Amino acid sequence: MSLMEPSYRPDRGTWICGRCGVPLEQGKTPIFYLNSAFDVELPRCPQCGLTLVPKSLAQGKMREVEATVEDK
């Protein structure tokens, strides 16, 4: 069952890591909720791994997935 899309990009802008100063790249990471894990691609600092969650993802798909996982 694939609840999530494979990849999410920033809603807008050109983002750099506040720590390393390098541009973010799409990178694959597991994300977790309760006893479920999903693999997604998110904007991420290629050097230190700092990861950005766009607003549209937080308020859209993540909300849905949270609700589904909570009812499992």
Partner 1 sequence: MLDQDGLHELESHCTQESPPHCRVACPFDLDLRAFLARMAENKPGEARKILERHVPLPGILARICDHPCENHCLRQSLGGSIAIHALELACLSADTAPGRTLPLPPKRFKVAVLGAGLTGLTLAWDLGRKSYPVTLLHTGTPESAVLAQYPQLAQSEGLRDFLAEDLERLGKQKVTFVQEALTPGLLDKVASEYDGVLVDADAAPDLGLEESAVDTETLVLRDNICVAGWKSHTATGHAFCSASQQAGQGRRAAQTLERLMSKVSITANRAKEQGALHTDLAGIASVPRVEAATALAGEPFYTPEEATREAGRCLQCECLICVRECVYMQKYKGYPRVFARQIFNNLSIVQGIHTANSLINGCALCGQCEELCPENFSMAELCRSTREDMVDLGIMPPSAHEFALEDMESASSEPCSLTLADSAVAQPAWLFFPGCQLTASRGDQVARLYGWLRETLNKGDKPGLALLLSCCGMPAHWAGRRRLFQEHTDRIRSVWEDLGKPRLVTACSSCLSAFRDRLPEAQALSLWELLDTLDLTTLAKAGQADTALPALFSVQDPCTARHDQAWLNAVRSLAQKCGVKLEEPRLSGTSTACCGYGGLVWCGQPELAAEMSAHRAAQLDHPGLASCIMCRDRLIASGKECWHLLDLLLPGGPGGTERGPGLSARRANRASLRKRLLAQYQGTTEEKPDALARVQIPDDLLPLLEERRILLDDVRGAVLAAESSGHCFQDQESGHWLGSWRPRKVTFWVEYEKQAEGFVVTDAWCHRMIVPGAGGQEAEEVVRTCQASMDKTREVGA
Contact between 18 and partner 1 per CB under 8 A? yes
Residue 17 CB, shortest distance to partner 1, in Å, is 6
Amino acid code (one letter) for 40: V
Contact between 63 and Zn ion per CB under 5 A? no
Give the one residue of 3, 5, 7, 16 binding partner 1; rule: CB under 8 A: 16
DSSP 18: T
Task: Single out the residue of 33, 28, 21 nearest to residue 51, CA to CA.
Answer: 28
Residue 57 CB, shortest distance to partner 1, in Å, is 8
